[in-house]
Every structure is written in structure tokens, then in C-alpha cells.
Amino acid sequence: MGNKQTIFTDEQLDAYQDCTFFTRKEILRLHGRYHELAPHLVPMDYTNEPDCKVPLALIVNMPELKENPFRNRIVESFSEDGMGNLSFNEFVDMFSVLSEMAPRELKAIYAFKIYDFNVDNYLCKEDLEKTLNRLTKEELTPEEVQLVCEKAIEEADLDGDSKLSFADFENMITRAPDFLR
């Protein structure tokens, strides 16, 4: 554990622990992973908070995300610039929200962001179609996709604007038995 002082100061680690659902060891491991992604970009020494970002293409190729149909969206919604470049802070943030310990409410917020492909704070039909096509690898016929999207909106839309606001989404998702992780 000799190297932990060189990566972060104790205050930094404490701060990260306060802000995330991780333990000290996990944060260090996360940094290791982050460093691995782009060894030439990311410095080992984080005590003076260097400003560096890892591009989307590298993060998406992590084994944790590689098979996920929404990998680009996940990374994008956690990046501050919306393009998918993640600083270490955002990187930790992402895994903190995705971790088991994060509460449902928090997950719901980010899930909403992830499914909101065109970033307009509503899930419209377009978003749903994209979601569906990613989930099924475009195996469904366009008619089926249409039907499913319409049904989904009809089910969850409370205010009748034929798109889902966050309130609708939250109402729907928090009742789902499967919405755990």
C-alpha cells in the first residue's frame, strides 16, 4: 500500500469516499483501471488534480461496458462535455452510480439520462426506438418497433404529451421489480 500516498492524498481519498459509494481500496483500484485505459494520458500522481480526460472510444472498450448496448450513452451522460470524454472525477462518478450501493432514486435519474438519446430531458418516441433497437440488435420489424414504442408510451405517460418526462419515467421505473442495478 505504499503507493497510495503518491496517487492521492488522504484528504482526497476521504473526499472521494464521502462523495461516492466506494471504499478507499476501490477508489485506488478505479484509478488503476483509469490509468490502464490510457497510460500515456493519465498521470499516476493525482495529488495536484491534473486536468486530463480519457476519450469515449477508450472507455467504451472496458470489459465492463464492452457488451452493453448503451455503452456510448452511459459514458456520454456522465461526461460533462456530453461528448464522452471523462475526467477521473466523472469516471469515478459513473461507477459510483452504477455500483450496487447506489440508491434507486439516483439510478433512476441517470437511467433517464442514459435513455434520453437526444438530450432534451424527455424520452420521446425516437429515444424509445433507439433503445429498443439496441436492446434487440434490430431484430424486430419496424412495425413491431412502432407498436412496442407506442405501447410503452401509452403505459407510462401520465400527462399525455406522448413522450415521457422524468416524472413519468420515475413513476414507472421505481415500481419495476427488475430495476435494481
Partner 1 sequence: MPPKRKNNISINIEDVGMDVDASDSGSEVEARRRAKNRRAKPQRKAKRVSDNDDEDEEEEDEDESPRKRGRKKKAKPRDSEDDEEEDNRNVKRKSSKASRKKAKDESDEESEDEGEKKKKGASKKEKEENKEKGKGKGKGKQGKDAGAEKDKKKKNRKLSSSIEEEEEEKSEGESLSEGEMAALKEEVEEKKKLIATLRNKPWRMKRRLTLLKEAQDFVEKFEGALGKGKGRKLFAFKVMMAKKLIKLKRDFENFKTACIPWEGKIKDVESHFGSSVASYFIFLRWMYGLNMVLLGLMFGLVVVPEVLMGLPYGSIPRKTVPREEQATAMDYSTLTDFEGYFKYSILFYGYYNNERQIGLLKFRLPLSYLLVGVGIFGYSLMVVIRTMARNANEGGDGGDEGDFTFSWKMFTSWDYLIGNPETADNKYASITTSFKESIVDEQMNQKDENIHLRRFLRVLANVLILCSLGGSGYLIYYVVKRSQVFANMNKDDLTWMEKNEVEFVMSLLGLVCPPLFEAIAELEDYHPRIALKWQLGRIFALFLGNLYTFLFALFDEVNAKLESEKDIKNATILALNEYAANYSSYYNTTNVPPQNVHPADVIRGPCWETAVGKEFVKLTVSDIQVTYLTILVGDFLRAVIVRFLNYCWCWDLEAGFPSYGEFDISGNVLGLIFNQGMIWMGAFYAPGLVGLNILRLLSSMYYQTWAVMCTNVPHERVFKASGSNNFYMGLLLLVLFLSLLPVVYTIMTLSPSFDCGPFSGQEKMYDVVMETIDQDLPAFIGNIFVYATNPGLIMPAVLLMVLALYYLNAVSKGYQQANIDLKKKMQMAREEEKNRRNNKDSTNQVMKDLEDLLPNKSLIPPPAEEEPPPPDVVVDKGSRSPKVKPGAAGKGVHLQRDVSLAAPNPRDPVTRDPGPRRGPPENARGPQPGPGRGRGGGRGGGRGRGGPPRQYEY
| Interacting residues with partner 1 between 87 and 116 (CB under 8 A) | 87, 89-90, 92-93, 96, 98, 102-106, 109-111, 115
- Distance from C-alpha of 175 to C-alpha of 181, rounded to nearest angstrom: 14
Q: Which is nearer to partner 1, 84 or 122 (CB)?
A: 122
CA torsion angle 173 135 178 176 (round to 10): 30
Binding to partner 1, residues 27-66 (CB under 8 A): 63-64, 66
**Does residue 159 bind partner 1 (CB under 8 A)?**
yes
Is 85:56 a contact under the CB 8 Å cutoff? Answer: yes
With CB under 8 A as the rule, give the number of residues binding partner 1: 73
Q: How many helices (H) and strands (E) does the chain have?
A: 11, 2
- Distance from C-alpha of 161 to C-alpha of 67, rounded to nearest angstrom: 34
Residue 39: CB minimum distance to partner 1, A:
22
Residue 162 CB partners (closer than 8 Å, separation 6+): 124, 125, 153
Q: Which stretch binds partner 1 (CB under 8 A): 1-9, 38-46, 52-60, 166-174?
A: 166-174
Q: Which is nearer to partner 1, 17 or 56 (CB)?
A: 17
Q: Which stretch binds partner 1 (CB under 8 A): 1-9, 35-43, 53-61, 162-170?
A: 162-170
Binding to partner 1, residues 11-30 (CB under 8 A): 14-15, 17-21, 23-26
Residue 163 CB partners (closer than 8 Å, separation 6+): 122, 123, 124, 125, 153, 157
